[in-house]
Structure formats: C-alpha cells, structure tokens
Structure 1
Amino acid sequence: MNLLTDEVSGLVERTEMTRKLTIAGKTKPYPVYRVRLDALFYNDQNDRIATWLEEYRSEHNGQDISRDDIEAYNDQIEKFIVASNPEKIEQTENNIKLVDQREAGITLSDGRVVDGNRRFTCLRRLNRKNPAKFGFFETVILTENMERDAKHIKMLELMVQHGEEARVDYDPIDRLAGLYNDVVRNKLLTADEYAKSINQPLKEVNKDLEIAQLMVEYLDFIQHPFQFYIARKEKLDGPLREIYPIIKSEKDEDEQEDVKQIIFSNLALAPKADMTRYMRKIKKILKDKRQRREFVEKQMDIAETVADQISDSKDAQEKVRFEKLESMKRESALAREALQTTDKYDERIRATANREQAAHVLDKAIDAIAELDTNIFSKLSETQLQDIRGKADELIELLNDLKGKADVH
C-alpha cells in the first residue's frame, strides 16, 4: 500500500494545511492529509513502544506481534500506549473530543505512524464510540522507506519527540533504551548525530549512554539481557542516576567492579520501595573513608550470594527466572540483610556527624568573630557600644556554660 497513490480510494484526502519539518538538514512545509484510521499502523521502532514489545516477546516465547491482521496488531500496541500514561491519554482524548485533532502527525507512505502515536490512539478510541466523527488521522505523509531511510526517519522522530517540541513525557527508561539501541546496539546513529537530533549537548548524551550501559550491565547481572522493560517496571532511572557518579569516580577497576556488584545486588533485592533514596544512602557510605571498607566487605558477601542464586536459575525458562528474581525482593532474608547492613553504616555516619557538629559550629563562630573589624568601634554611638557589650556578655555566659558541660571528666 502507498498512501500517496491511494488518494482517490477514499483512504486519503489532501487538506489545505501544512506542517514544517526538517529532514536530512532541509526544512520545508509538507502537505497534511486526512488518512482513514484503518490504513495506518503503529511504528514498532518507536522508543516508547520498543520496551513494551520486548515484554510482549518475553511472554510469547520470543514471538513478535504479527502484522498479518493489522487491526489486531494495532489493538495490542494501543494497550501499551494507554498503559504507559493513562492520565495523558485521557487528557488528550478529551481535548480531541472537544476541539478535534489540532496537530498533524507524521506517517510514512506505507501507513506507519512515525509521530503522533498518542493522537492516533485517542482517535482510534473515539472512533469506536463515534465512527462518523472520528474516522481520520491528520498527518504529513513521507515517501521515506523504513528499510532504506531508517536513519533519516529516526533522526526526524527524535527531533520531533525530544528536540523541536522538548517533549518530556517519555518514560526515562524508554529514552535510555532507545539511545542505547540506536547508538550502541544497532549503530543506526552516532552519539553526535543523536545529540544534534534532540538538540542536547554531546556531553549530556554521552553521560546518558554511560548510564544506559550501566543499565545493560545490571540486566546482564540478573540474567535478563536487554530486557529493558524490567528496568522500566522497576523504575531504575532514578537509582541509576543517583549512583552513577560514585561508580564513575572509581579509578581502580577492581574496586569499581565491587561497587557495581553491590549496587546491582541491592537493585535486584530492592529492600526499600524508594530505591533512589536508598541508593543515596549507599552513595554516602561509599564516600565515607572510615566506613567504606567494612561496608564493602559485608555487602560483597551479600552480592556473591545474590549472584549465585540468580546463576542457579540461568538455564530455566524466562518466566521461572523472573519469578526467582521477584522472590528475592523486599521481604526475603537477603533483602533484609542488605537493608540492615546499609542502615547500620548509615547510622554510624550520622552519629559521627552529630559528634562533630558542636566543634564545627564553634569553628564557624570563632571565624566569624575573628573577622569583626573592631576599628569601627570608635565610630559607634554609646548606645551601639552598649548593645555590643551586652551581646558579648551573653556570648561569654553561653561559652562558659558550654565549657562546663564539656568538662565531663
């Protein structure tokens, strides 16, 4: 099927509207068409959809959703789109119901929707309730071919979704997975091309690539390589970003590997619901020279046990491996041990900080008083000088009291 040659069939009709796009470095207005909904299908290369498709394959023995029945294919992916952000779907659907589709999508000539998945989804849902009113999707139609022009299409999609309109409603794990797939796994784009497409500094993209690599290593650790949907379900973006600086700062490769094993085992055990805050505790302990060594030794024992238990199930079916992983979380003895160890060393750091707080406060007070310019006293009024003498007496009284309390021997 070619939508651009099917204009007379009733599937497609050209409108008077245009949408300006930048493709292969050239910006120009493109005509907008009204395309019948049943002539379109979701783009399985879209980053937002990709992790959901991985989950589908994991639950269906590695099989992709067949496009032989395009309606069934669309129905299945529609469920993914809705589940990814049901509140936003409802908001967009209500808006389209009220004022119709206001922004045109982008579609390839074979019917693949490159931009506008949410609008396409909402129109499909509205069409089931009111087919007479909501039967078409307004969209630019491009002649590019997914097999031939995959790179240009991906750059356009990135520009629209992340750069040109600065949309931030992508799940952060979907974005990391898409970045890793595009740049590292499939080598579709260079990091520089990706950065230019989303209008971000290359430095930031390279940082995200390193965090994505950390995510890949974690998935390898739990024996679920490239199953990014697990990272999405476990909301790992926050914990990974929290702990990333401490891993990057490790200069010794062996110590860096030990830290990774500790982090990965704690992520697998998930002893706290808020793993970002929990990782913050671990980061604080790892930065403390007095507590770090003993903490690492204790946590490495736990990490080795976690790795052994995961390894024991590596040859089992994926469902069994996933169930084994779930059984280790939160309420397991290992998870409790990891939590207790982390809390123990966190409390030690807190106690030390409290003991050192008094001396720290006094140091600051001494520095502040030492910086006073007493030469100005000769220029002050008697009232001002009397006020200073009163405050000095009050300070002396406080210090004498403090000194007496400190004399505990």
Structure 2
Amino acid sequence: MSKIDLIKLYNQGIVKKGVHNLNVPIKKFNGESYSGETYMIPLEYLYYNDQNGRIGVALSEYESTNGRIIPGHNEEYNLAIQNMIINDGENSTKKEMEKLKRDMHVKGQQEAGYVLKDGRVIDGNRRFTAKRLLQQDADITGDQYFEAVILNDLSFKNHDDQKKIKSLELQIQFGKLGKVDYHAIDRAIDAYKTVKVNNIMTAKEYSEYAGFGSTNEVNKRILEAELIVRFLEFSNADPENYALAKQLELDGPIQDLIPQYKKFKGQDNETQLLDSIFTKILQIRITKEDYKKSYREIVKNVVGTKKESNFIEEMEDVTDLIVDALDSSEPIKSNIELTSVLASNKSISTALSEVQDITGKFSESVKNHKERTMPITLMTRAINSLSSIDISVIPHLESKDKYQLLNKLEELKFYIDAIKSAGE
C-alpha cells in the first residue's frame, strides 16, 4: 500500500465526516486547540500502534517465535496484534471482545478514538479490533468504519511529536473511568521504554500526564522493568521478550524485590545476589511453589542482613549449574521452552531441589529468629505505650477510672513477675 494520508483521502471522499466532537486534551505546538471533529475511516487505511505499552509487550511474544514484523499497513502485522488483543487474558477477554463486537454492531461506535494522519491508531485499540471482527464476520454485510479524531500534524518520526502523542495516551489511559487497565508488567515496561529507553519524556513528565502526583510510582515501575530485563538476560532470553515475563507471572516476585533492590543496586555483589534470587524465582515457577512463602522471607529478611553473604555462597554452585544449562541452549522464547530446558536435565532437577532446600533452611532460620526475639519486641512496644501516658492527668481522674487503672497496673505487675520468674 502506498503512503497513506487520511486528510487527502477525506478530500477524495473516501474518509467521511464523523458525528462526535471531542475535547482533545493536548494542544498543537503553536498553542492552538485541536478541533476535535471526528472522521469515519475505512479500516483498510488503519493500523495498530506498536508504541502502545500493552501492544509493545504482546508484540514481543509474537516476534520471539515468528521473527521481526514490520509495523504499519501490513495485514500480517494487524492480524497478529488483533489476535493478541483478543487472547490477552484468555477467555475473559474473548468474551469481552465478543460483547463489544455485538454492542458496536447494534449501537454503533459510541466513543471515538484518535489516529495519526498516516492511519496509526493512537487510542481505541479494542474498538478498532471490534470493528475488524465485524468486517471479518461473513454474516455481517456492509463496510466498517472506525470513527476517530485525526491528529494531522503529528508523526512518530519526530521526537517532540512522540512526546505529545505519549502524553495524550497517558491522559486518556489514566483519565477515564472504565478503561481496561494495563497488566502490571505492561505498565512497568511502558514507563521504562518511555523514560529510560526512548527518552521521550522524564519521569516527572510521565507522572504529571498520568496524574500520579509524584514520580515515586514511575520510578518504581522503571525499577520493576529493569529487574525484568535483568531476569530475561539471566534466563538466556531476548531482553525485549517481555511477554515471557508475563507468562512466568514475574510481577509479584519482582515487585517484592524492588525495596531491597533500591538498596543493593550498584553494590559489588549486585549481580551475584540477583542471580541467586533469580534462581529462586525459576525454581518457584518450575516447581509451582507459592512465592509468598520462603521467597518473601529471603527477600525481606535475608537480603541486606548478615545472612546475605552466606546465602549467596550456598546458592553459588546451583546458580552456576542452572546458568550454564540455560546458556548452552538456544535462546529461550517461551515459558514452555524454559521449563523444557530445565526439566530435561536430571542434574538441573537435582539443583532445583537443592535451591528449595537452601532457601527453606534460610527461611526457617529467619522464622526461628523472629520467634526468639518476639518477647523483646513485644516488651519494647509495651514500654513505648506506657511511656506515652501523661502522668499529670492521673490525679484528676474520676474515682471509678482510678480504680480501673490500679486494677490494670496489678494485672500488669502479675505478667511482669511471671516473665521475670521465667527468665531467672
């Protein structure tokens, strides 16, 4: 297909006037407002936006198996993205898309989207997908049109334009009720690529456009994405195969790690420590162990303590064995391949069992330490509570309140005597 210009197609009568008029939340570079007028655009002149956060992650899964695909007016590309959107979340998303398709067939498109003049869909991917499904349905006759505002002065070839486009996407995504929320990994990768990889905007700007109030949330997402990339590299996977991270459900374990990662990032043992933790995550996912058990104890109560160096030392041999096994295989493309590589090697199965034993031992040690120190902790809390009492108010208490207070003091003295007796 030759170069598309939707405005020229409108002048030729192929694109038609729409029925909505939107309040566009961004302005042109000269400060003027966009008109917000919508247009009815034949689907053949539109294509999905590969720079969209959710689509970018889904696309990495397709490309890990099928190789790179050229975004744009390419039906293979559009069909691949369409299938990703339909299958994202499996049955629930399929049902939602089928419902949206039916609603749009009966009621029409109730909410307009945004597109660039070359046909790139900036907002409205699910509505665009529903329209495509209607057009592909042999039982439905008539051409389908996608209604959208055409941002005719913006292009992804211009860096400043990218920033304006991204600000629109963020304001729409976080500014409307009922929008389909991003998966946690999609959100992390979107912030990471926008701020760190492509330098489209700063963390502060991203935060402002998304309405977060501060940069803390953005920085947290960036750290999460950094850890995901490090994990993918550790696993001998393409560091841009973010879909593998979703398949392995890394968001929970990685988010638990972020507070500690902030502290040890840049330290001499950073790589060794991460490799040990990543080995534990692999073991969890392969053996289907609940990560909320020993993993959380390791991250919260071993990392950053005196036990940390011993943990790394005990994990070193099994970690090296697993890394060698992964590095000697073809690059990992999916969780199925990852499981296959690790499960097909008997020595790796033994190593995974050893990982479980090592981390279980450290987790148990932490629990035992907590139990031993719990009386001290509780006593400290009790002292802090008692010290907060304003003694000057006691003479002014009513008789019944004084009586109750003295009874409580006698009860407290009983427990103090019992504790002292047990300690002698």
Say which SS state the counterpart of residue 157 (structure 2) adopts. Answer: coil
Matched letter for residue 45 of structure 1: Q
**Map of 1:231-242 to 2, 5 A cutoff?**
231-242=245-256
Residue among 112, 136, 151 paired with 2:145: 136
Q: For 1:252-288, what per-residue CA distance to the aligned partner results, in whole angstroms no more than 9, with x for missing partners?
A: 6212222222222223333555546664322223356
1:45 to 2:51 alignment = yes
Report if the CA contact (8 A) 1:268-1:325 is conserved.
no
What is the distance in 1 between the residues matched to 2:355 and 2:114?
Answer: 49
- The residue that corresponds to 1:100 in the other structure is 108
Gaps of 5+ in 2: none
What is the distance in 2 between the residues matched to 1:249 and 1:39?
Answer: 50
**Map of 1:38-187 to 2, 5 A cutoff?**
38-60=44-66, 62-64=67-69, 70=75, 72-85=76-89, 86=93, 88-90=96-98, 92-93=100-101, 95-97=103-105, 99-129=107-137, 131-132=140-141, 135-144=144-153, 146=155, 148-149=157-158, 151-152=160-161, 154-166=162-174, 169-187=181-199
- The residue that corresponds to 1:289 in the other structure is 305
What is the distance in 1 between the residues matched to 2:216 and 2:335?
Answer: 37
What is the distance in 2 between the residues matched to 1:393 and 1:237?
Answer: 51
- The residue that corresponds to 1:217 in the other structure is 230
1:359 to 2:372 alignment = no
Matched letter for residue 140 of structure 2: P
Report if the CA contact (8 A) 2:220-2:258 is conserved.
no
Query: How big is the shift at 1:182?
Result: 3.9
Report if the CA contact (8 A) 1:97-1:126 is conserved.
yes
Report if the CA contact (8 A) 1:39-1:111 is conserved.
yes
Bigger drift between 239-248 and 4-13 goes to 4-13
Matched letter for residue 31 of structure 1: E
1:19 to 2:22 alignment = yes
Matched letter for residue 175 of structure 1: R
Cα 1:6–1:319 shift into 2, 3 Å: closer
What is the distance in 1 between the residues matched to 2:401 and 2:113?
Answer: 72
What is the distance in 2 between the residues matched to 1:7 and 1:40?
Answer: 14
Report if the CA contact (8 A) 1:243-1:279 is conserved.
no
Query: How big is the shift at 1:118?
Result: 0.6
Say which SS state the counterpart of residue 296 (structure 1) adopts. Answer: helix
What is the distance in 2 between the residues matched to 1:8 and 1:236?
Answer: 50
Cα 1:145–1:364 shift into 2, 3 Å: closer
- The residue that corresponds to 1:265 in the other structure is 279
Q: For 1:175-206, what per-residue CA distance to the aligned partner results, in whole angstroms no more than 9, with x for missing partners?
A: 33334334444445555554554455445434
Residue among 348, 355, 360 paired with 1:338: 355
What is the distance in 2 between the residues matched to 1:260 and 1:18?
Answer: 51
Q: For 1:29-75, what per-residue CA distance to the aligned partner results, in whole angstroms no more than 9, with x for missing partners?
A: 23101122333222233222222222222212x241686763x5433
What is the distance in 1 between the residues matched to 2:128 and 2:232?
Answer: 33
Q: State the percentage of identical aligned residues.
A: 27
Query: How big is the shift at 1:346?
Result: 1.7
Query: How big is the shift at 1:90?
Result: 4.6
Cα 1:31–1:150 shift into 2, 3 Å: farther
What is the distance in 1 between the residues matched to 2:35 and 2:295?
Answer: 48
Cα 1:236–1:386 shift into 2, 3 Å: closer
Say which SS state the counterpart of residue 114 (structure 1) adopts. Answer: strand
Residues paired across the two proteins, number: 402
What is the distance in 1 between the residues matched to 2:106 and 2:289?
Answer: 39
Say which SS state the counterpart of residue 140 (structure 1) adopts. Answer: strand
Matched letter for residue 316 of structure 2: M
Bigger drift between 205-214 and 317-326 goes to 317-326
| TM-score, normalised with respect to structure 1 | 0.82
What is the distance in 1 between the residues matched to 2:222 and 2:333?
Answer: 29
Query: How big is the shift at 1:249?
Result: 0.8
Say which SS state the counterpart of residue 20 (structure 1) adopts. Answer: coil
Report if the CA contact (8 A) 1:44-1:50 is conserved.
yes
What is the distance in 2 between the residues matched to 1:67 and 1:377?
Answer: 78
Q: CA RMSD in A?
A: 3.5
